[in-house]
Amino acid sequence: MRVQPYLPARLRRGIAAVALMLALSPCTALADLSFTSQRDTLVITSVGGSGSPDDPVVLAATVVADGEIVIAIGGMSDGLGNRARSNHFTSFELVLALTNATDRPWTSFALALEEQPGLGSDYLDGLSFGQDALGSPTRATSDRFARAQVTNEPRDGIRFSIGVVGPGETVLLRFLVTDNTPTEPVYLVHYRDQPVAGLPRALPATPPARGVRSARGAA
């Protein structure tokens, strides 16, 4: 009997099919928070935790294809309270455990908080990754990226960089999700068309010095 060789392309198609099926299934929920993948690029596999600094919400998911990622977060209401013990009306601490099931490494990963996907945020939506009027440092860390750069105004964003997450590897991204004007759902998004996760740009080729012919053009 002839054994078929391993075909990465076939494996990727199979993963994508499973991702689409799971993305259409009911959302993953805790007692008072829910998380739903809005795109077939991400499959949520598990979620747990209360959202406090000692017991953060840990959301495990697999990125199965390039493209934008949108996670709808339900439960950001007055009843949630200040779980992260920050200076906000509603908050919780979140750890994203993202497995890279694509065929390329990530050299950075950026996320944004939005009330409506694709419309960005403004000064009045109350969303942030822990923006603190008292000036306390924003809590954001990763096990594979050395830098976590938070942008508070005018767009609420966080960019993890200086590191590499290869295909098949998992990265932990830890940060706060806060809202001073509680509304639900809110959206945690990652846009592929922004160069936030991918290979660094190749350096342009150095042209021959002026007055010196290349080897191909030499007599």
pLDDT for residue 126: 66
Number of domains in the chain: 1
What is the domain range of residue 138?
Answer: 8-190
Per-residue model confidence as pLDDT tens digits over 85-131: 777 778 899 999 999 999 999 999 999 888 877 665 555 566 778 77
Asked whether residue 97 is domain-assigned, the answer is yes
What predicted TM-score, i.e. pTM, was given to this entire model? 0.72
Does residue 2 sit within a domain?
no
Highest mean pLDDT among 113-117, 142-146, 183-187, 208-212: 142-146
In a domain, 162, yes or no: yes
Q: Establish if 71 belongs to a structural domain.
A: yes
**Amino acid type, 160:** F
Asked, for residue 197, whether it belongs to a domain, the answer is no
- Say if 196 falls within a structural domain: no
Domain for residue 137, yes or no?
A: yes
pLDDT tens digits along 148-167: 988 776 667 889 999 999 99
Dump strand ranges (E) for 40-130: 42-48, 57-63, 69-74, 90-100, 106-114, 127-128
The tens digit of pLDDT for each residue in 166-205 reads: 999 999 999 998 887 777 798 999 986 444 344 333 434 4
> Angle at CA 15, nearest 5°, toward 104 and 19?
105
Residue 212 lies in a domain: no
